[in-house]
Structure 1
Amino acid sequence: MTELSISTAAGVFDAIVAGPPAGRPVLLLHGFPQTGRVWQRQIAALAAQGYRVVAPDQRGYSPGARPERPEDYHISVLVHDVVAITEELGWAAFDLVGHDWGGAVAWWTADAHPGRVRTLTVVSTPHPGALATTLRTDQDQRDRSRYMIDWCETPATEERMLAGDAKKLRAAYAGKIPQASADANVRHLSQPGALTAALNWYRAGRPDGVIGVIDVPTLYVWSTEDSAFGPAAAQETSQWINGPYRFETLQGVSHWIPEEAPDTLSRLLLEQLRTHGTYGTTAHTPSTDSPKR
């Protein structure tokens, strides 16, 4: 795996990259409170099969793309980052994968740019329309999502999360990810302004528009012990997919699927890519994503 700097009009995004430069391109989007390195096991698995894989640290997580205002983290802006990053990489079409907030960005990107997204894989996060429906109809999901309202406090949330060697931030991982990963996340989010930027994703306000049904081939992976997203939203997601759809449930696994069940997720992801290898355009522009210094 190689470190990569991706320069866009919005700033410079740090990323890790692996796989042959001419390989079929795959973009991996992380969530809160993690970075692109959450995907290390999946990156290795995909690169070994000839895919060109890039996992950026998203807006706010990359020091070179860290605006201070919450409104700079609207979902439409985050989607534009995906487009800008892939254009800078020279990718006309790509497979898109997202977890947690990265999953939300992936849903919105597939809706806005179906001609560019070859396949969509979302881990944990239900379709935003399904989540909105269950927030109106399901008390269990309303209870699970209450933290999103609580985290809009500033700077109180940051102070609570980082107090006592980031005890509350570490508690979010519930002991389900490797200790080294938790320590690396805490170090990253302890940088000046980093945690506030990450929390601005929650503070940015409602989406600018309405998301529709998804037409591209979609794999949705949900786990039964996810504390943030319950079964109602997971099951409702099928109502928002028009394209080929596969729903996988991981029994006894928490929200942190990429690191808690890495081999299972890598297998499912590779199956998705192989099954829909010829969807849409079968050609893509060779990658130009050589590391920039």
Structure 2
Amino acid sequence: MLRSSVVTQSPVIQHIETPQLNIAYEHHGPTTGDPIILLHGFPYSPRGYDEIAPALAAQGYRVIVPYLRGYGPTRFNSPDTLRSGQQAALAQDLLDLMDALALPQAALCGYDWGGRAACIVAALWPERVRCLVTGDGYNLQNIPGSIRPRDPETEHRLWYQFYFHTQRGVDGLTENRRAFCELLWRLWSPTWARNDERYPLSAPAFDNPDFVEVVIHSYRHRFMYVAGDPALEWMEEALAKQPPINVPTISLCGADDGVGAAPEADDDIEHFTGPYERRVLAGVGHNIPEEAPKATIKALLDLLKG
């Protein structure tokens, strides 16, 4: 029986070189196992998978949990590289990681930024994705449509993104990054009792020297306030068409998500053209894997063994 209280030794951090990054990642399980890549979001870290990676590894899977660009020990190879946080850069990092590890295909699981990277790779390179567990459905940004204002309640929830559009936001995140990110944890997972216990485990990952620059670029690019990486413009153009995802997918949605609770009707279903299921998790906020490890494990195993 799977247990949510898996206890394991601290995972060893490994590094691998890609064209733009030296990616730090945590590895669990046998190198011969079927690969699963678990991707964290903002402002989170691989600690979100502490109760998931060991349980999957115990069943023989090869589990890889990378630190995204701007987090933890992951570093850019060159000081001249744009510290982009755009969605295409996150997806390219995932592809580069898979190539560097010689993984022709992997199961993907991600939420927030990590879910966006996973969804993009599933949409544009479906042959690389065995199956997908996505936090909050279809995570591809509709950047051309971002100029249209949304309803006031949604705009209110996006206050932090608008804050980052200003120099005050840059300075605030720089000076108060741990307190700021802790506030987001509390706002986004308002009913989770373990915020105070778990946040200190992820907070050190935000001390990365590129964290602020990557975060600010991410939230400015998605509203077209800054340019992206010219080498990735082709991908952004493809994403603007909102391509469908046809790989087997389970969407996990938090009923108490402070960014935006799951609506009663699934408004993402039209974007999934393959086997697809949406599961709304009662009492769960935005930090889906860390708040609901059993449900996350079950979703992955249902796809992998189904």
Check whether TM > 0.5. yes
Which of 150, 160, 168 pairs up with 1:147?
Answer: 160
The 1:262/1:188 distance shift into structure 2, 3 A limit, reads: same
Structure 1 residue 208 displacement after superposition = 4.0
Indicate whether 1:117 and 2:117 are aligned.
no
The 1:50/1:73 distance shift into structure 2, 3 A limit, reads: same
Q: RMSD over aligned Cα, in angstroms? A: 2.8
Structure 1 residue 158 displacement after superposition = 4.4
TM-score (norm 1): 0.82
Which of 216, 227, 230 pairs up with 1:199?
Answer: 216
Alignment-mate amino acid for residue 204 of structure 1: H
Which structure is higher in RCO with an 8 Å CA cutoff and minimum separation 6?
1
Alignment correspondent of 2:33: 23
Contact 1:126 1:229 (C-alpha < 8 Å) held by counterparts: no
Contact 1:71 1:204 (C-alpha < 8 Å) held by counterparts: no
Indicate whether 1:48 and 2:58 are aligned.
yes
Indicate whether 1:274 and 2:305 are aligned.
yes
The 1:129/1:185 distance shift into structure 2, 3 A limit, reads: closer
Alignment-mate amino acid for residue 157 of structure 1: G
Structure 1 residue 41 displacement after superposition = 1.2
Q: Secondary structure at the match of 2:126?
A: coil
Which of 244, 257, 262 pairs up with 2:293?
Answer: 262
Alignment correspondent of 1:218: 249
Alignment-mate amino acid for residue 97 of structure 1: C
For residues 1-293 of structure 1, what are the structure 2 equivalents within 5 Å? 1-61=11-71, 62-65=73-76, 72-124=84-136, 126-128=138-140, 139-154=152-167, 156-161=168-173, 166-174=178-186, 176=192, 177-205=194-222, 206=224, 207-209=236-238, 210=240, 211-232=242-263, 235-275=266-306
Q: Secondary structure at the match of 1:167?
A: helix
Any stretches of 5+ residues in structure 1 without a counterpart?
276-293
User: CA-to-partner distance for each residue in 1:226-283, whole Å, 9 max, x for gaps?
Assistant: 11134349721111100000100011211112112222222222222211xxxxxxxx
Structure 1 residue 162 displacement after superposition = 5.9
Contact 2:83 2:213 (C-alpha < 8 Å) held by counterparts: no
Using the TM superposition, name which of 193-202 and 221-230 deviates more. Answer: 193-202
Contact 2:254 2:281 (C-alpha < 8 Å) held by counterparts: yes
Q: Among all aligned residue pairs of Structure 1 and Structure 2, give the percentage whose two residues are the same amino acid.
A: 26
The 1:234/1:146 distance shift into structure 2, 3 A limit, reads: farther
Any stretches of 5+ residues in structure 2 without a counterpart?
1-10, 225-235
Give me the whole-angstrom Cα distance separating, in 2, the residues matched to 1:236 and 1:28: 25
Contact 1:127 1:240 (C-alpha < 8 Å) held by counterparts: no
The 1:143/1:119 distance shift into structure 2, 3 A limit, reads: same
Give me the whole-angstrom Cα distance separating, in 2, the residues matched to 1:256 and 1:194: 19
Using the TM superposition, name which of 55-64 and 16-25 deviates more. Answer: 55-64
Structure 1 residue 70 displacement after superposition = 6.1
Contact 2:57 2:63 (C-alpha < 8 Å) held by counterparts: yes
Structure 1 residue 220 displacement after superposition = 0.4
Give me the whole-angstrom Cα distance separating, in 1, the residues matched to 2:19 and 2:155: 37
Give me the whole-angstrom Cα distance separating, in 2, the residues matched to 1:252 and 1:103: 20
The 1:87/1:196 distance shift into structure 2, 3 A limit, reads: same
Give me the whole-angstrom Cα distance separating, in 2, the residues matched to 1:153 and 1:48: 46
* Number of equivalenced pairs: 273
Give me the whole-angstrom Cα distance separating, in 2, the residues matched to 1:72 and 1:165: 18
Give me the whole-angstrom Cα distance separating, in 2, the residues matched to 1:255 and 1:123: 8
Contact 1:141 1:230 (C-alpha < 8 Å) held by counterparts: no
User: CA-to-partner distance for each residue in 1:192-245, whole Å, 9 max, x for gaps?
Assistant: 342332333223345443231111111100011111134349721111100000
Q: Secondary structure at the match of 1:221?
A: strand
Q: Secondary structure at the match of 1:47?
A: helix
Using the TM superposition, name which of 263-272 and 18-27 deviates more. Answer: 263-272
The 1:234/1:273 distance shift into structure 2, 3 A limit, reads: farther
